[in-house]
């Protein structure tokens, strides 16, 4: 096997839980071009390199049954973003991936029910949201900071976004409010 380009940097980033996507050049292009070779190399180390259908890369968790403490926070954050977009009548995926966001303009503390959900995962204010959620999402390659207060979602955010959409298309969570017409505000189902 020839030497794989950028092997050390790819390994170090993926090992820390980072997701390599098109913004991560030149590592991303090399993984795309020689995925099978990288996957075989990492498999020999006991690591499973995943190529997501949305074209980004990450290591499969060693123990998928273990839920990191950051995941519930990210899930609640994501649910609120999706719910907010749905309530605005906007196409959810375009809303999430088609614009930049200002931390101070996020909807997360605009409704009591959003605030209550965030408190359940120990996020009590915008500072917590930035420190405990957004900064972690940046460390794993799910968002990119564009300035002190501005960010955009990156392709790897689809890992949680797709799951939230899937869950939202089912029934509302127990105790979750429904709209005035008795429907789930995300999917319109009763």
CATH number (domain holding residue 15)? 1.10.10.2250
Q: 80 and 135: one domain?
A: yes
Report pLDDT for 177.
52
Q: 104 and 48: one domain?
A: no
Segments forming the whole domain that contains residue 137: 70-168
Q: 77 and 162: one domain?
A: yes
Q: 75 and 164: one domain?
A: yes
Contact 96, 157 (CB under 8 A): yes
Tell how many helices (H) and how many strands (E) occur in the chain.
9, 5
The domain that holds 104 is classified in CATH as: 1.10.10
Per-residue pLDDT of the chain (190 residues; tens, 9 = 90+): 458 999 999 999 999 999 999 999 999 999 999 999 999 999 999 999 999 999 999 999 887 677 678 889 999 999 999 999 988 888 999 999 999 999 999 999 999 999 999 999 999 999 999 999 999 999 999 999 999 999 999 999 999 998 888 877 775 544 555 544 444 444 444 4
Q: 164 and 79: one domain?
A: yes
β-bridge pairing 57-59 and 49-51 = antiparallel
Q: 121 and 161: one domain?
A: yes
Q: 49 and 108: one domain?
A: no
Residue 24 lies in a domain: yes
Report pLDDT for 68.
76
Q: 79 and 153: one domain?
A: yes
Report pLDDT for 6.
96
Q: What three-state secondary structure class fits 174?
A: coil
Residue 185 lies in a domain: no
Number of domains in the chain: 2
- In sign, the C-alpha dihedral spanning 90, 94, 96, 98 is negative
**Residue at a domain's end among 17, 33, 59:** 59
């Amino acid at each position: 096997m020839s030497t794989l380009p950028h092997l050390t940097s790819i390994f170090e980033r993926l090992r820390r839980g980072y997701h390599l996507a098109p913004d991560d050049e030149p590592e991303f292009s090399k993984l795309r071009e020689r995925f099978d070779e990288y996957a075989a190399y990492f498999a020999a180390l006991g690591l499973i390199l995943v190529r997501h259908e949305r074209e980004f890369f990450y290591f499969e968790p060693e123990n998928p049954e273990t839920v990191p403490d950051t995941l519930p926070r990210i899930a609640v954050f994501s649910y609120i973003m999706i719910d907010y977009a749905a309530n605005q009548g906007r196409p959810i995926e375009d809303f999430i991936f088609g614009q930049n966001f200002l931390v101070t303009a996020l909807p997360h503390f605009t409704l009591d029910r959003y605030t209550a959900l965030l408190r359940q995962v120990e996020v009590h204010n915008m500072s917590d949201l930035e420190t405990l959620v957004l900064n972690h999402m940046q460390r794993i390659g799910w968002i990119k900071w564009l300035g002190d207060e501005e960010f955009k979602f990156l392709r790897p955010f689809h890992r949680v976004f797709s799951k939230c959409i899937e869950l939202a298309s089912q029934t509302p969570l127990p105790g979750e409010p429904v709209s005035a017409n008795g429907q789930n505000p995300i999917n319109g189902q009763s």
